[in-house]
Amino acid sequence: MRLSPRIQATAEPAIPTARSWAARYAGQAGPVIDLTQAVPGYPPHPALLEQLGRAAGDAALAGYGPIDGDPALRTALAADISRFYGAAVAPADIALTAGGNLAFSMVMATLCGQGDAVALPTPWYFNHHMALTMLGARVLPLPCHAEQGFVPSASAARALLAEGARALVLVSPNNPTGAVYPPALLAELATACREAGAWLVLDETYRDFLAPEQSPPHALFADPAWRDHVVHLYSFSKAYCVPGHRVGAVACGPAFRAELVKALDTWQICPPRAAQHALAWAVPALLDWRLANRDLMAERARAFRAAVAPLPGWRLDALGAYFAYLRLPDGAPDAMAAAETLAAEHGLLCLPGPFFGPGQQRHLRLAFANVGLEAIAAVPGRLRRLG
């Protein structure tokens, strides 16, 4: 029996693949340290858990809600975006989704289809590439290099737009590298997209973990014309520690939104109601808690940098938000073999660079945000065992 060729052409899920290697680990190096998936390494706020529990038992929230999300959370997020970026974003600009990955998939289905070209920086977030493959889109790699801090070149991006790219997708702070794109570059790339008649799709899932001096990360929302060529993606999973509740968001203009609603209605009907209700309370109420967690993650980033610095031959090519992008030493196996050995023999789970696109054979991604300082301190000992 035949199956979809687009699905068959899509890569296997990365994280289950990496975790399957650890099934062979016998525990000789100590407890497993899992740095594969980007998950908050601390629990949700107790008051948020209380809100979620009450909302889950509310019969009024068991029914369908608005296709584009409940007004209370749309209003709260619009206010939070306006505060964070220093520019007015309205509830009418916001559509809520059942998670950030679904937000991306629905946005790209609104923008493109079979054979349409999309520019995607490498290394890329593998679920973005998977979603585009499923749509039948043609991915145009935009190489980003360690020597430039894994930040894309504006001239290279313009060249891909000139080739007919329907959209340019950016993730900042970046997954997998942690790189943060400078405001001037984001402004230049937004202008390039507008001039080329293309869309800038900007995923800022990790924006809550930017250092104070990096905020606001850009001034795109201050441009009155942003709604005509920019689509912004956000997820509540990381900042509020609720990835299992699946709530994300899209900020966009009215023309794009009118078409996006068709995807919202078809693929999700409505986002999870109880989680929306609880998050509408949490967005303003837990601001100080979020800022404290930003500082906590910065502490883990500093600890990771200090821990791996003495490792001979290893090179930390990028670090930020949740991620470290670590270059293997000369003489070590390539990333696929190295990651499998680290998981199966030494109990350190990380993701090999090739999961994030071409040209990444010498890098590993480690999501240091998942674990506390004690586990971070144990990482160099596991890496040394690679030989």
The verdict on 129 and 223 lying in the same domain is yes
The verdict on 134 and 232 lying in the same domain is yes
Query: What is the structure's pLDDT at 326?
Result: 98
Domain span holding position 314: 5-43+289-384
Domain boundary among 253, 285, 317: 285
| Mean pLDDT, rounded, of the chain | 97
The verdict on 9 and 109 lying in the same domain is no
**Which of 86, 41, 42, 55 is closest to 279 using CA atoms?**
55
Structural tokens at position 79? 């206010």
pLDDT at 206 over 80: yes
Residue 174 lies in a domain: yes
Provide the 10 A C-beta neighbour count for residue 143: 15
**Cβ atoms of 9 and 133 closer than 8 Å:** yes
State how far the Cα of 91 lies from the Cα of 81, in Å rounded to an integer. 10
125-176 pLDDT, tens digit each: 999 999 999 999 999 999 999 999 999 999 999 999 999 999 999 999 999 9
**CATH code of 13's domain:** 3.90.1150.10
The verdict on 317 and 280 lying in the same domain is no
pLDDT (average), residues 23-34: 95
Residue 67 lies in a domain: yes
Amino acid occupying residue 36? T
pLDDT at 387 over 80: no
Q: Cα 215 to the chain's mean position, in Å?
A: 18
Establish how many alpha carbons lie within 13 A of residue 268's alpha carbon, considering only the half-sphere containing its beta carbon: 30
The verdict on 296 and 338 lying in the same domain is yes
Strand pairing of 323-327 and 363-366? antiparallel
pLDDT (average), residues 220-241: 97
Structural tokens at position 316? 């930390």
The verdict on 141 and 29 lying in the same domain is no
How many domains does one find in the chain?
A: 2
The SS3 of residue 33 is strand
**CATH code of 208's domain:** 3.40.640.10
Domain boundary among 265, 285, 305: 285
Would you call the peptide bond into 71 cis, given omega within 30 degrees of 0 as the criterion?
no
> Phi-psi bin for 239: left (phi > 0), alpha (psi -120 to 50), beta?
alpha
The verdict on 166 and 191 lying in the same domain is yes
The verdict on 26 and 71 lying in the same domain is no
Describe the strand order of the beta sheet including 363-366 as a list of residue ranges. 315-320, 323-327, 363-366, 351-352
Query: pTM, whole model, 2 decimals?
Result: 0.96
The verdict on 328 and 246 lying in the same domain is no
The values of phi and psi at residue 257, to 5°, are -60, -40
307-335 pLDDT, tens digit each: 999 999 999 999 999 999 999 999 999 99
**Which of 116, 125, 121 is closest to 141 using CA atoms?**
121
77-123 pLDDT, tens digit each: 999 999 999 999 999 999 999 999 999 999 999 999 999 999 999 99
Residue 58 lies in a domain: no
At residue 1 the predicted structure's pLDDT band, cuts being 50, 70 and 90, is confident
**Cβ atoms of 118 and 271 closer than 8 Å:** no
The verdict on 208 and 135 lying in the same domain is yes
The verdict on 36 and 68 lying in the same domain is no
Burial class (CB in 10 A: 0-12, 13-18, 19+), 7: exposed
pLDDT at 2 over 80: yes
Q: Which residues of 368-386 are buried (b: 16+ CB within 10 A; e: fewer)?
A: bbbbeeebbebbbebbeeb
Cα distances (angstroms) measured from residue 81 to each of 64, 74, 208, 318: 26, 10, 11, 27
pLDDT (average), residues 21-49: 95
